[in-house]
Structure 1
Amino acid sequence: MADPQITRPSTTTSPDWSWATVMVVDDEEINRALLAGIARRDGIGTIVQAVDGLDCLHKLETVQPDLIILDIVMPNLDGFATCARIRAMPEWSDIPILVQTALTTPQDVLACFQAGASDVVVKPIRPAELTARLRVHLENRRMLRTLRDANQRIHKEMLGAREMQRTLFPSATALDQLRAEHGLCIEGKVEPLDGVGGDIWGLHPLSDTLVAVMVADFSGHGLMAALNTFWLHAFVSKQAAAMRQPAEFLKLLNGALRANLMRGHFATFFFGLIDLERDELHWAGAGAPKPILVLNDEFHELDTTGLPLGLTDRAIYGSHSVAFPPGACLLVFSDGLTDIASQDGTRIEAHGLMQRLRPHLLANPASNLAGILEAVAPAGQTRLSDDTTAVWIRRRPREANDLIDPRHLCLSGIELEQVKWWVTLLALPYRVTPIPGQPSRPIHLIASGEDQLLNNAFDCNFAAIVEIIADQLGEEPPEELVLPPSDTHMLVSLTTTTAYRLPLAMLVCDSLLARGLISEQAKGSILLALQEAIANGVVHGNLELHSPRRAFENMRAYWAEIRNRLADPAKARRRITIDCHLRDDQICITVTDQGRGYNPETVQDRDPSRPHGKGLKLISQLAAGIEVGLGGRQHALTFPRELN
């Protein structure tokens, strides 16, 4: 039997909402009556009802409500469009909009927030919950009124807050140091809509060759949003170690914002990691506008797919990589830049930004940020509708006395036009013949199935050997294929089937020895460790065979299972990529598969006899170090180049 409800006398005075005006927008009369009744019971002074979105917009011409309760599914003009149009009008843009909807998926809820909702209530309506949310938003509304009434008094304080917020941005000294020491030119500009705002950008040098750049845009404007930027700056400044893995960093930040942001508040976010040693850009996004990468006079929008931070604990973020060599440029911005309105009221939007940016940069490749903003949003001809941030990142182009890139493409069974997109994104040279008088360093792009050509490619001083599957060329190239133009760097990327069939570890070690990157004495231990690492990547990674050999009746059954899995095109076409480069007096060999990933420490702690355990134990005995990345798909092994 349930315990009886015990009603205790209230010790607090109910707030007075008689001053408040609430507009209820719903096409169902019974729903309007229910919502109006709850609001009236809570002491709301004035309740206005509208039968659909158009009626709502019409009544807003004469009534200024303190809160709008808005249905989504309505005739004539639905809730999404109504919400967007309300937010587009400056005189209405700060009205709290409480959306009531039966659409409950994360995508639907996100769509509500993207349209401009302040909060979301899921149907069926629970009166107690609605009352609580009404009180929260009306109390915020009351505070806003108070702030407006005291505007002159706080104007000086607002100016002071703006100066304080500016101290969060990178200093001119730090930017000058990056420009002088690394040829990395970074400019940033933040233009709040209301003196202070929810936009912030940051710069965090993690080492001599790693620089992290972020741009965040908190929902809302003014002081409320600005306070979130101060919290973010304080939190991020303590997370230098986590920044080395962009996707994991966003996951960490999302959890922290979930715990600290007010309900209904969120932030879009771009996080980039510039690797000056490897000429790479690694990034992850959380619903931010797509940054524009300029590479070899080609313009590319980077993928920032991901839920904004602070919305849900179930958000998943992906990490991406692209070549970022000298001469490359990147424009990162908040949506305030694309929301800038021209004189006729139309917004620039993403396509308009690209249309204005491309001709300007092609005519002025050395343009600074001021020139870009003038080309995109000419002064006096446009107006802000949101906090606006733009960050312009340029790597100084190579000069005549810089090291010449000796690499050239060597295509087998495939045409240049087919691989042009990959060549651009990976910043590979377009030339297909060696530079006269320079050592030849071919980048072999070989059509899948040409085993003899693959074998022959290992006989030269190659920069890379990449097996190409034609129908994969329409997809973004895997991030592990980014290859800097270093003469002490080589890369091999083959499909699972080919890596299983060829003596890949031997071919790689012979190539390292032939070019003097390792000694004959060191080759033996490197070969054994690399064989184990490749076997793990092929069998346990790409083929997802996690049962130990002893689980099979005999070895014949074990090999039969491997052949069965190789017959699966999805698994057979996954890649095994081996990246080799020098690091001081060591050779670093990174093996990356495209399976689900695993953490070797977890596996060995659980049961040393399980798959990966014995092989990784052998690798740990032979290698000087092992680093695990990409969720367990990538294993970086370091070895001394010579044995004592």
Structure 2
Amino acid sequence: MVFHGAPASAADAMADTSSSGVIEASDEEDVAAVLDEARWGLATGAWFASVRSASCLDFDLPDIVAQGALGQLGIAEELGERRLQDISTALREILVNAAVHGNMELPSPEKTSEGLKAFHAGVNARASEMPYAARRVRVTATLRPDAVILAVIDEGTGYTPSSSENSGDGYTGRGLDIVRALVGEMRVADGGRRTELSFRRRVESRSRDTSPDSPAGDVVARLHGSVFDCPILIVDDEDILVQMTAFQLQDAGFKRIDTASNGSDAWAKINADSPDLVILDHSMPDMTGLDVIAKVREHEKTRELPVLLVSAHEDRAFRADALRAGATNVMTKPVDPDLLIHRTRQLLESLLVMRQLRAYQRRVTVELRQAQRMQEELMPSHEAMAAVSEATGVQLSARFQMSSELGGDWWGLSDFGGGLFGLYMVDFSGHGVGPAINTFRLHTLMRDNPPPLDGPGGYLTRLNSRICSILPRGQYATMLYGIFDVAERRFTYAATGCPPVIFGKADGTILATGETSGVPLGLSRKSTFEDRVIDIPEAGFMLLYSDALLECPSPGGDMLGDDGLMKLVRSVLEEPGAEPPLDRLVDRFTARTRLPLDDDLTAVWLGL
């Protein structure tokens, strides 16, 4: 990756590469360092980057480029997190198109298993084949008073728009419906080699009251005041030093002071009274300060107790040994009173902050577990699945695994009777609390507007119109809803950009995929969805799944992708076992995948 507009020092170091100054960045750490330094773009109102075609396929790259560009132009905070998500999402789709369809000159794949397999093989081959491997995709970000303009330029042969294309501008490719829904304006120029995305600037108020009277200021004030109520134990065998230290602390406002004259007495009081801080002399006759610290660190109850060790030793070696032994801090005699008070307050404030954080963590953990159970209860129960299986003769199994405490995946059943049942699967963008809240939003909509017996496409169109008014901008969901007719072995469905449905014969002799392209829910009220049909062969199966099966990487960073998942499904079908096919499939997937998963995993298997 090359970033233009770098500081003069960097430009001079690489004067042989470009007169304007460029920096080569080979990995994410290098990129972060470059983005911190390349600030000259602000002076010109423009930012530039040049990326190798293969790098465009890295899922994280668009986030790095978008945040780097907008950060250097000084408007990342102004745009806000939601708008940055829109820009990163749109940039991701355009970068992949510029690399694959532009620099590598590959047409869009046929929507079949073989077509996808050939397409991925073509991408892999041309990523390392000349002249394709040498081509770059250039990105520019230009600041205007009312908008920021991102331009993506490839080095391919170009594209000739056709007036017959339904896209309006004649430009087609992977994910461009998503882009059109996110940007203010998209313009294609230079024979298809240049794509400009215009994002309107929207200033978000981020002012925060930090005055002492504000809630945030009140928290700081309470924390500062409470340190004076913390119990402190002073330990020293010289009574005059104990009295002097106690007086200094009391004079500074600390109210709860206790003392001990030796190590044994100190250890007894630590166990009985649980002080919040121990100010401990090292040189004592029965137990040294380090001996006391060793006992403190041995016991679970006192392991994290702050201990301020005081010693006449001035050498660095002793200080290092004391810190390694478990002293929280070390001070040298004679102790400066102001420094003693400062260290005491600092250690107690840190202790109180950690207590508050642990209490908060415990509360959040309990609440997240409750929310997790609530979200899991949205899914069909084992009893509901068994009832559908018994009524229809379809073997129905499912696996669901969140990548964090909460997730954005969800699936459900609607039993219509008479050998008909509805099946839907949803995957909201992102992970964690926000997507989980969106699943509840959609559940409420679907409860008030239950799936109909026919017309999946019309149902998703109506559902999309409603959810567009609820979801925050930049959040969206892929969804599939269909009706299975057991007697006809026919699945009539509509989809909004989900992973392809996999179906075929249970012995693996026939495998195929069902088309699932479409604009995700929540991006555009104008989106409409059509009905599609899959006919399942006799003694067949059907697999619905979230994109975690395709995109969660192995420890080495490899993803299964469409082709790899088809191979995994075939291997499961060709090697029958005692466990259900879906369990064997997911177990093999998790065995080769880096854990914990990067995305929520949902999979549903129907066997006939």
Q: Which has the higher contact order (CA 8 A, sep 6+)?
A: 2
Q: TM-score, normalised by structure 2?
A: 0.47
Q: TM-score, normalised by structure 1?
A: 0.45
Larger gyration radius, structure 1 or structure 2: 2
